[in-house]
A and B are shown apart, each in its own frame.
Chain A
């Protein structure tokens, strides 16, 4: 585990250095991530990083909202309650919604009774990036599908093209709806979209994503999919796992053990 931890820190610090590299010369705080999409290749080349997540539903406790709350707090995600304009980076929903195209006939209730965490899949071939007319959405060098809030025009083409309903739009000013304000991440404004960023701001500091840290059951495993020795790859090797809507060819980086 120590070995792995060291490896993890080493990798995240590559991101840190890259972050400084591009932000120099720009009027950006380097905690805000770089925005020039051309600097990153979207090919998954061996030896580069592709962050991914594995969600082990055998461990997840039904009714627990710790990961969801941690995410909301970490990113100042506004809470519009149970409305069609709710903003969600990470949410828990029933099997029938998360795996809406998977078979449901005669399936064990063991599988379907729990609500399942879902988030942006940071697809290797993301349809949202292709739909965005301004490249506000782009793929980073480490596989994270990132979003530049300043470039987003609020056209919502990305939302329509994401098959996982992972993107939310700020229909009104989000700031009044933020429950607990946290100044480690910039708040957004009305008229832009937002979604999970795999906690890239925490990765910069060598920390794990907030949801992963918050889960008391270690349901969520985060790591480099391109590294055969990483914990996530070991788990993928030993277990039968699922991706959401694999038939669409978006190559999700989030995996599930149901």
Chain B
């Protein structure tokens, strides 16, 4: 099935070339970091930056596979059968991006396997790493097995069923534990309890938005239509999750920024980022509520993109409190940006190859 990645039209190859270019620039930036240490990033006062933002975003977005798997496997909602493999592959790729993002943030990446060897039950960071590896494998294996069965025209093998059931609590735990990575900071114990919950809600919003975008792209680029019913259902799930997310973000902004008088520090990149994130989120959300726009392909694409960007930016808000207290000055460097984009491109390349296989099977069937 993989060999289909070598066949494609012009736009496909332009897309792949673009991804490869980003990967190459990422690798060159990373080799610079290997040589000079993390001093090539904009970090210092801020302990964690862009790559941890990407880790948090992707680790939680990966979990949204649940919103497709759960209705299908527990409530027998058949239409989602069409996109379940896509959702699983998205989950696998997002976990891979999250893992790589963690890796490029480590001072000594050569010790990455020590994170498994010395896994520490009371460290949320340790858990997040372990859960991500597990989630990557579960989704890749179940997705691939389902696809293989579909190609042969037989029902999916029964051995994947326990894995699929396992993936449900796994998907709930993943964003919560990722939230705990931040929530365990005593320096900001006053925002801790909301954080895990916020991440859980934003996970489902951003992941569903990504899934929606992918189905749109597949329709445009490859003529693969998931159908009205599935799109509507996804939009509905997205609307619920996003509404909940932005209410939580709004509460947080109010409580922590206004409460501490930080509202006025517009000079700080991160503070303005949080506010623009919230505004963008609310604007995108509005689109889903306007009946006329809800059915327009273009509006939906823009709004999903808005949700994705907004939730990504909002991850910066969690990092705002990380250091010595107060708001931290942090501007990412180009090197940092290239690394983060490189990782993103690598994950996207992986997803593209997997989706090519999906398309081939769906077309043949």
Contacts and interface: CB of A to CB of B under 8 A. Distances in A.
B320 interface: no
A181 B37 CA distance: 21
A132 B107 CA distance: 14
A9 interface: no
Interface stretch (A156-164, A199-207, A210-218): A156-164
Interface string B45-65: 101100000000000000000
B181 to A, nearest CB: 7
Contact of A172 (B39, B112, B120, B322): B39
B24 to A, nearest CB: 24
B44 A84 contact: yes
A242 to B, nearest CB: 18
A165 B126 CA distance: 22
Interface residues of chain A: helix, strand, loop or mixed (majority): loop
A156 B115 contact: no
Interface in B29-52: 36-39, 43-45, 47-48
Nearest to B122: A130
A171 B47 CA distance: 10
Interface stretch (A20-28, A105-113, A146-154, A221-229): A146-154
B119 A152 contact: no
Interface residues of B, number: 39
A212 to B, nearest CB: 26
A58 interface: no
B114 A151 contact: yes
A248 interface: yes
Contacts of A163: 186-187
A230 interface: no
B107 A192 contact: yes
Given A133-B123, A135-B118, A84 B324 contact: no
**How big is chain A's contact interface, by range?**
35 or more
A171 B43 contact: yes
Interface string B174-206: 000000010011110100000000000000000
From B37, B39, B114, name the one whose CB has the most chain A CB atoms within 10 angstroms: B37
Contact of B44 (A127, A171, A250): A171
A190 interface: yes
Interface of A: 83-85, 97, 100, 127, 130-136, 151-157, 159-161, 163, 165, 169-173, 190-193, 245, 248, 250
Interface of B: 36-39, 43-45, 47-48, 102, 105-109, 111-112, 114-115, 117-120, 122-126, 129, 181, 184-187, 189, 322-325
Given A132-B120, A191-B38, 16 more contacts: A97-B324, A131-B123, A131-B124, A132-B123, A134-B115, A134-B117, A134-B118, A153-B106, A153-B112, A156-B48, A160-B48, A172-B37, A172-B38, A245-B186, A248-B189, A250-B186
